[in-house]
Structure 1
């Protein structure tokens, strides 16, 4: 069994962020996923949960089950590779525990509503006095500033307020939310980028800073050309279904056993496609022989789309993919079971297996960042509630076992 000091390094391994200590006081997705990315890349991440109110995604399905015990696979996917401790930040003794940990940490990640950590007496203005090098990453709905900053927010809030919801769906139907938590996930990515940038500055200059990332801001940054289309041309983005605002052909097409994405819009790809389907004359047809002509909506609907429907209708997804090969961009639109079983997914280690002993094996998505010298280590378990409290407080805060027991008796742990 590892000593308390060894535990901090054993869990992280030899990744690119080895030696970096992260305190994760966040919950649900945006914050936990941000710190999980850092853990995959080698940081020692310590998940801090309230002993009486732990991260409620531990109750989210699906579950690995053994008799009357269960583990949330949802929680496990976003908290893998972390050490877990319990601290009640509402009591004075718990506040001091966090401060003692912050003194030795490099990064703290939280995703409470702005002002919550300040009310606890643990906001950035307090913690930077404890550790001037601290990178304090705060992910929230509307950000730390602005007239709406204190409003509660979820992923759907960001999709609605950031404009993405209004752009998504079919033109003749009500708007649809994007079918995943893109507000949380985009904030995660920007949170990781901001954290690493601030960490580099702290390591070079000894000065930390707050990293302020808003879900709404993150969604706005995901709207492609919608902002400049409006500010330059006065066009308000609408719902286009599977189409691109101006690039054609670049959308879904039905085929014999499902649907494919085809994006052969350049002159080069269009010529190859016409030859591939034994109609080379379509590449030189003066009506559709240039990209600009094919982009014209009326011309596209009248001449190009019917050709593609004809070419694809009697062929399966597999046949079309085989025909396209490495020549033109054509991809089967896959269901998630097909993605999990796909040879490319396997080749990229994007499904990893983790043994949870009596609970069985958990298969979850891997780490998309591939580093040649210091590879990520995503195939690790998530922590149980408070699993590593004693050794972490011994190693990082320098507490004795007697002091830890006193804190536990006082309700701080």
Structure 2
């Protein structure tokens, strides 16, 4: 691994790891942002006009806040990848890097002379990570893919929404996030293997693969149960009562997964006899007869405000919650205590509250990161660092 990390925060798990980052838009940058959070020196390579997310809103004082969020902690250098001089600079940088991450369509890096087969000959310890919509193989490998396309093709969209309504996309770019998470995971596995073998490896990550694999309930029903899952709206497809229900002033979420909890739940709603009702004797039967069960829940909860419903259920040890807005979730005492966001100081935008990776490591403080870089802001610093490392 490289001999130094430019992140000034002491003792982070990825201190000393240097990443050459050719990614843009969301999946790849999400991966490398998490690595930067943990101390990696991430060098973001961009074209002269900057990557796409510099030009996607929301904006503040002309700066993309989305770009700020997922390119935090990185350094930027602008290079023309069609230039022989730029390719020479990249190869010089790679001599000092542990990881290369790219999310071009399959074949693009090979055309530039930067494909894995060529680079692995020059840099056998390099971990080379490719992130794409459908991976490096298969009939869809070279098709373009954005998150909505991956949601549509993965089955997630077909499984989301009300039974008698149109398929619904999830309210976040989960295909991109899945790809970014698995790219980070694959990178760490390859780095761990390298620590034992002293050789790198090509890591092939597909957004489609990642999202399909993140649906284990749908997978088991399809692959082993030979079912064709259908949309169940805000009700769990296999368990009951498990979903959202109506109180007098809004909705609440409820999760009852076993017979013991169900007996307790029946007592809370003033219907202890339901625990002995043959229609509700097991979780599968409760799901089969969910409409009848929901009528009892609606009768009880419909006379109470959401907060009182949740208070009574929680006091009895039954998982329940109000439906928080995104703003309420980020501002919640739990999110604040867990440090899901921390501040950075941007030279033009001032103090920004940015998300950071969610895993806690013992002895590692959160925060202390640099903001997302201006385009090519670190060219001199990166090239000077390269010269120092080569002369060391």
Shorter-normalised TM-score: what interval? over 0.9
Q: Could you tell me how far apart the structure 1 residues matched to 2:7 and 2:235 are? A: 49
- Checking the alignment, whether the CA contact within 8 Å between 1:367 and 1:378 is kept in structure 2 is no
Other-structure match for 2:150:
158
Counterpart in the other structure of 1:310:
299
Give 1:399 shift: 9.1
Say if 2:37 and 2:356, in contact at 8 Å, map to a contact too.
no
Q: Distance in 1 between matches of 2:284 and 2:135?
A: 41
Deviation for aligned residue 1:375: 4.1
Normalising by structure 1, we get a TM-score of 0.88
Residue 215 of structure 1 and its aligned partner are, at CA, apart by 0.8
Q: Alignment partner for residue 373 of structure 2, among 379, 383, 387?
A: 383
State the shift of 1:398 in Å: 4.5
Q: For each residue in 1:355-377, what CA deviation from the matched residue of structure 2 results, as whole angstroms up to 9, or x when unmatched?
A: 32552332232321111123454
Deviation track 1:223-255 (CA, whole Å, cap 9, x = no partner) reads 223233233333112222112221111111122
Aligned counterparts of 2:305 and 2:67: Cα–Cα separation in 1: 38
Equivalences for 1:141-180 in 2 at 5 Å? 141-180=133-172
Mapping 1:7-156, distance limit 5 Å: 8-11=5-8, 13-50=10-47, 52-65=48-61, 70-156=62-148
Q: CA deviation at 1:112?
A: 0.6
Q: Give the superposition deviation at 1:89.
A: 1.4
Q: Measure, in 2, the Cα distance between the counterparts of 1:12 and 1:113.
A: 35
Alpha-carbon distance in 2 for matches of 1:96, 1:110: 17
The SS at the match of 1:152 is coil
State the 1:39 CA deviation.
0.8
Q: Partners of 1:60 and 1:123 in 2: how far apart?
A: 29
Instruction: Output aligned runs, 1:265-280, within 5 Å.
Output: 265-280=257-272
Once the two structures are superposed, residues 182-226 of structure 1 have per-residue CA deviations (whole angstroms, 9 ceiling, x without a partner) of 110001111111100001111221100111000111121122232
Paired residue secondary structure (1:166): coil
Partner of 2:349: 359
Q: Aligned pair in 2 of structure 1 residues 111, 362: CA closer, same or farther (>3 Å)?
A: same
Shift of 1:127: 1.5
The counterpart of 1:373, out of the listed 350, 363, 378, is: 363
Following TM superposition, by how much is the alpha carbon of 1:310 offset from its aligned partner in structure 2, in angstroms? 1.6
Matched, 1:288 2:280: yes
Q: Which digits, 9 at most, give the CA deviation of each residue in 1:19-50, with x for residues without a partner?
A: 01111111011111101111111111111111
Q: 1:378 to 1:111 in 2, by over 3 A?
A: farther
Q: What residue number does 2:255 align with? A: 263
Q: In structure 1, list runs of 5 or more residues that go unmatched.
A: 401-413
Q: Which residue of the partner structure matches residue 336 of structure 1?
A: 326
The change in CA–CA distance for 1:375 and 1:136 in structure 2 (over 3 A counts) is: farther
2:338 is the counterpart of 1:348: yes
Moved more, 311-320 or 150-159: 311-320
Deviation string for 1:113-162 (max 9, x for gaps)? 00011111111112212211100110001101112211111112211222
CA contact (8 A) 1:249 1:263 kept: yes
Cα distance change of structure 1 residues 92 and 230 upon mapping to structure 2, 3 Å threshold: same
Distance across 1 between alignment mates of 2:222 and 2:372: 45
Total equivalences in the alignment = 387
- Using the alignment, how far apart are the partners of 1:12 and 1:89 within structure 2? 32
Give the superposition deviation at 1:354: 2.4
Q: Post-superposition, which runs of at least 4 consecutive aligned residues in structure 1 deviate over 6 A?
A: none
CA distance in 1, matches of 2:189, 2:389: 32
- TM (norm. structure 2) is 0.93
**Aligned-CA RMSD value:** 2.0
Q: Quick one: higher RCO (CA 8 Å, sep 6+), 1 or 2?
A: 1
Say yes or no: does 1:324 pair with 2:313.
yes
Q: Is the 8 A contact 1:61 1:73 kept in 2?
A: yes
- Distance in 1 (CA, whole Å) between partners of 2:334 and 2:140 is 44
